């Protein structure tokens, strides 16, 4: 059996499961400080004999397995967690740990068990409290010098859009213009209370499509999977597919792009891709 943690800023989802992503037991634990949260996590896992733990963590987090800082949280806005090490947390229990970003864990969950099965190149994008992008390239999760932060690419603003943006670092980044908090800041209401406002979703689709066009040109994915709370508004999908195709302007001629309904798709494992992906990560622990 394997352990899995989907480490979020509000809650931690912990689970026990097998290599096929079957969840045997799971629990939600409120995210407090490490001193408040980690004992509850260890207590949960202490009830089972597990071979390893896979962790999909908020970041920034060191993913270089050759570094002494592997699994350590960097300059996170969650100040209590800055400098915290996931590997050190489990060292006393002598349980091997694999750490990746939360969005990469969700990406590999969809690749192994969801809408990315059988594909070598997939992008998973979560559009919710923030915007994160997990990139599965040539059969591997992409890390690089740290990990992709593609939610912060700069986008060309729509004419007349003078919204200041919700990102404290970049006025015009994807997250600042189109995340859940951006929608609330722009309109004064949660997106779930604006479903009857076509103008809201036309603008949202514009920014999502501009981002997807850039991801397609940069990463050349064979499928794009969209998840997160904002994408629960299902009317977005047909608008995004058309606008993305329009932005590509016929420049790329592939069989995948001829069928946009199968190319830009919703997450299949709604809500479970992160924890299932973390279970899969646990299989690769050393």
Same domain? 158 vs 254: yes
Same domain? 54 vs 127: no
Q: Which domain holds residue 97?
A: 2-101+272-282
Q: Does residue 261 fall inside a structural domain?
A: yes
Residue 9 pLDDT: 82
Q: Is 132 exposed, middle or buried (0-12, 13-18, 19+ CB in 10 A)?
A: buried
Same domain? 262 vs 120: yes
Same domain? 120 vs 255: yes
Q: Does residue 172 fall inside a structural domain?
A: yes
pLDDT tens for the chain, residues 1 to 286: 999 999 988 899 999 999 889 999 999 999 999 999 999 999 999 999 999 999 999 989 999 999 999 999 998 878 899 999 999 999 988 999 999 999 999 999 999 999 999 999 999 999 998 999 999 999 999 999 988 899 999 999 999 999 999 998 888 999 999 999 999 999 999 999 999 999 999 999 999 999 999 999 999 999 999 999 999 999 999 999 999 999 999 999 999 999 999 999 999 998 899 999 999 999 888 6
Q: Does residue 106 fall inside a structural domain?
A: no
Residue 229 pLDDT: 93
Same domain? 96 vs 135: no
Residue 155 pLDDT: 97
| CATH classification at residue 57 | 3.30.420.40
Same domain? 172 vs 89: no
Alpha helices in the chain (DSSP H): 34-45, 86-91, 102-113, 174-178, 180-187, 198-219, 236-248, 260-263, 273-282
Same domain? 72 vs 129: no
Same domain? 212 vs 129: yes
132 contacts 173 by C-beta, under 8 angstroms: no
Q: Does residue 109 fall inside a structural domain?
A: no
Same domain? 34 vs 142: no
Q: Does residue 108 fall inside a structural domain?
A: no
Q: Does residue 180 fall inside a structural domain?
A: yes
Domain count for the chain: 2
Same domain? 169 vs 220: yes
- Rounded to two decimals, what is the model's pTM? 0.94
Same domain? 135 vs 176: yes
Q: Does residue 107 fall inside a structural domain?
A: no
145: CB partners within 8 A, 6+ apart:
none
Q: Does residue 124 fall inside a structural domain?
A: yes
Same domain? 171 vs 241: yes
153 contacts 174 by C-beta, under 8 angstroms: yes
77: part of which helix (H) or strand (E)? Answer: none
């Amino acid at each position: 059996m394997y352990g899995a943690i989907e480490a979020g800023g509000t809650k931690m989802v912990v689970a026990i499961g097998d290599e096929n992503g079957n969840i045997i037991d799971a629990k939600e634990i409120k995210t407090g400080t490490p001193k408040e949260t980690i004992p509850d996590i260890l207590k949960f896992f202490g009830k089972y004999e597990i071979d390893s733990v896979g962790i999909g963590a908020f970041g920034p987090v060191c993913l270089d397995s050759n570094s002494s800082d592997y699994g350590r949280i960097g300059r996170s806005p969650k100040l209590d967690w800055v400098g915290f090490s996931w590997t050190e947390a489990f060292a006393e229990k002598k349980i091997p740990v694999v750490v990746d970003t939360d969005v990469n864990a969700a990406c590999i969950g969809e690749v192994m068990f969801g809408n990315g099965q059988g594909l070598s190149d997939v992008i998973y994008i979560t559009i919710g409290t923030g915007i994160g992008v997990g990139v599965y390239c040539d059969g591997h999760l992409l890390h690089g010098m740290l990990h992709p932060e593609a939610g912060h690419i700069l986008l060309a603003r729509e004419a007349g859009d003078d919204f200041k943006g919700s990102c404290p670092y970049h006025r015009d980044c994807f997250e600042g213009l189109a995340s859940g908090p951006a929608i609330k800041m722009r309109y004064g209401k949660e997106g779930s209370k604006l479903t009857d406002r076509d103008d809201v979703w036309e603008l949202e689709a514009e920014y999502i499509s501009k981002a997807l066009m850039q991801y397609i040109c940069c990463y050349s994915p064979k499928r794009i999977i969209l998840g997160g709370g904002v994408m629960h508004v299902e009317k977005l999908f047909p608008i995004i597919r058309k606008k993305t195709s329009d932005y590509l302007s016929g420049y790329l001629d592939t069989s995948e792009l001829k069928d946009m309904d199968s190319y830009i798709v919703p997450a299949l494992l709604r809500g479970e891709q992160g924890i299932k992906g973390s279970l899969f990560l646990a299989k690769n622990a050393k």
